[in-house]
Homo-oligomer: A and B are copies of this chain.
Amino acid sequence: MGTAGAAVGDADGNASAGDSRRVAVPPLAELASRLGEGVLTTDPDIIAAHARDEALFCPAEGAIALVRATSASDVQEVMRFATEHRIPVVPQGARSGISGGANASPGAILLSVARMNDVVAVSEAERTVTVQPGIINQDLKDHLAPFGLSYPPDPGSVGISSIGGNIATNAGGLCCVKYGVTRDYVRSLTVVLADGTLSVLGPQTAKGVAGLDMRQLFIGSEGTLGVIVEATLRLVPALPDPFTAVATFPDERSGLQTVADFMAGGGVPSLFEFLDGSSLTMLNAYGDFGLDGEAGSMLIMQVDLAAAESEAMMANFAEVAHACGALDVAYSDDPADSADLIAARRMIQPAYEKFAGAHGGGQLLDDVCLPRAAMPEFCDRLDALRESSGLTISLVAHAGDGNTHPSVFFDAADEAETAKALEVFGEIMRIGLELGGTITGEHGVGYLKRDWLGEELDAGAQRMQLAVKNALDPLGILNPGKMLGGL
């Protein structure tokens, strides 16, 4: 493992390759000396191992150093140094993102807060928890359980993604249909700005309107405005055990129509997931979850109201599903049944990876959020895309929110098929926009979708984005090229 002192040569080499505008060699040894032992490294192997998140097709070359911060003061040192020497900085958490938002940039310092993963304080009186950004979402949930408190946001990556990254991307998940997204649980943020200034954004209180809400601006800003070093999160009393229903359908449309009709009729699910036929087939090939592999689609729906209300809502769901042509509807109030079904749903990505592995390795996971009522038409448009492209496209969705995750599978060794898959990936976003949706419901823009952002935002919104970015990061050193890089 290289130390900073020994590795300035490496830094030099990387830097001149990666950023031809910069003439001076940044004195990384000086920065290293301001940080603790082993906090900064320029070891190329270690840098390479930290250079990317889980996204495909995103560059991740040219980082000159990795800083594994242990404190807000480490982060401040890095940003002061970066401002002084005009060095790009890429903030990183668990690197579990799938849009390339945490990928290295040429000449950049990778600034990881993964080691800053403590729970600072739990307040039962205020129903809040204050954490460092590197804590893993599930670890936080586990920490809170003995207090009888819940932090609801549960992205698919709940077991591997960190709270700082969840905030930086405003992560969603399965419970959003009732409990909202990460944004809804952030009470205040401590951030380090581009010039190293430490600032607390948002009051510690339940309500507060003192000035422009910079806390809200930072949520979902993907590391382009500053580095989150602490967060106070709003909690709720421990969530009750839900009732769970499963319904299977002969095709996709009838499942999605059930979602639209049940919600329009006043349904209040706490989880409402859709899986298409190909996803069911891939899950069955991955493990024995007792799913009907012959069904054209499946819905998993949960309700966590009081028992009588939940039963009534389950009965209403069954009625709506049957009216839409369901093959079968079953429900249970046994927490074990619920847990099994949700575990199966959470296995969809490994199941996709197994399928992809046997078919050339390529998978592009999309994230189009639609008006709920547009989902059946979206499904028809995907059918047309399957036909025109010849590619396998699977669909799962946080259907209660209209948040769809189509996956395009392709042979990554076949250049033409890869190009076609990328084209289909973009076409899916365009269809989403045509149907009144967004190119990204919860995964973020990062590098992967930066060239599509301009298709969603109007001219005024684009100018505002760039003006605000420039106002808060005038040197353009914070995660350059990401999110707004295509505008």
What residues of chain A have their CB less than 8 Å away from a CB belonging to chain B?
123-127, 148, 169-170, 172, 176-177, 180-181, 183-184, 193, 197-201, 203-214, 216-217, 219-221, 224-225, 237, 260, 263-264, 266, 268, 305-306, 308-309, 369-373, 398, 401-403, 436-445, 449, 453, 456-461, 463-465, 467-472, 483-484
Which residues on the B side are within 8 Å of A198 (C-beta)?
A: 460
B125 near A210 with CB under 8 A, answer no
10 contacts between A and B (CB under 8 A): A180-B184, A206-B402, A211-B457, A211-B483, A212-B465, A212-B469, A214-B468, A216-B219, A217-B468, A237-B268
B205 near A461 with CB under 8 A, answer no
Which residues on the B side are within 8 Å of A221 (C-beta)?
A: 212
B453 near A210 with CB under 8 A, answer yes
Least CB distance, A426 to chain B, in whole angstroms: 14
Which residues on the B side are within 8 Å of A216 (C-beta)?
A: 183, 213, 216-217, 219
Residue of B nearest to A99 (CB): B209
Known contacts: A219-B213, A457-B211. The answer to whether A205 contacts B437 by CB under 8 A is yes
Which residues on the B side are within 8 Å of A440 (C-beta)?
A: 208-210
Known contacts: A237-B266, A266-B148, A461-B201. The answer to whether A369 contacts B206 by CB under 8 A is yes
A461 near B199 with CB under 8 A, answer yes
Least CB distance, A279 to chain B, in whole angstroms: 20
A369 near B483 with CB under 8 A, answer no
Residue of B nearest to A169 (CB): B209
Binding site secondary structure of chain A: loop
- Return the contact of A205 from the options B124, B214, B370 (Cβ within 8 A): B370
Query: So how many copies of this chain end up in the complex?
Result: 2
- Return the contact of A212 from the options B204, B220, B370, B443 (Cβ within 8 A): B220
Known contacts: A193-B464, A217-B216, A306-B305. The answer to whether A210 contacts B371 by CB under 8 A is no
Which residues on the B side are within 8 Å of A484 (C-beta)?
A: 211-212
B220 near A442 with CB under 8 A, answer no
B471 near A176 with CB under 8 A, answer no
Q: Which of A205, A209, A469, A472 has the most CB of B within 10 A?
A: A209
Assembled-state Cα–Cα distance A183/B403 (Å): 21
Residue of B nearest to A309 (CB): B306
Assembled-state Cα–Cα distance A306/B237 (Å): 16
Assembled-state Cα–Cα distance A237/B343 (Å): 30
Q: Give 4 nearest A-B pairs by CB, closest first.
A: A199-B460, A306-B306, A216-B216, A471-B471
A372 near B126 with CB under 8 A, answer yes
B237 near A371 with CB under 8 A, answer no
Assembled-state Cα–Cα distance A221/B181 (Å): 22
A170 near B464 with CB under 8 A, answer no
A176 near B209 with CB under 8 A, answer no
A467 near B456 with CB under 8 A, answer no
Assembled-state Cα–Cα distance A448/B381 (Å): 55
A126 near B461 with CB under 8 A, answer no
A401 near B260 with CB under 8 A, answer no
Residue of B nearest to A266 (CB): B237
Least CB distance, A162 to chain B, in whole angstroms: 17
A465 near B206 with CB under 8 A, answer no
Residue of B nearest to A206 (CB): B401
Least CB distance, A468 to chain B, in whole angstroms: 6
A445 near B197 with CB under 8 A, answer no
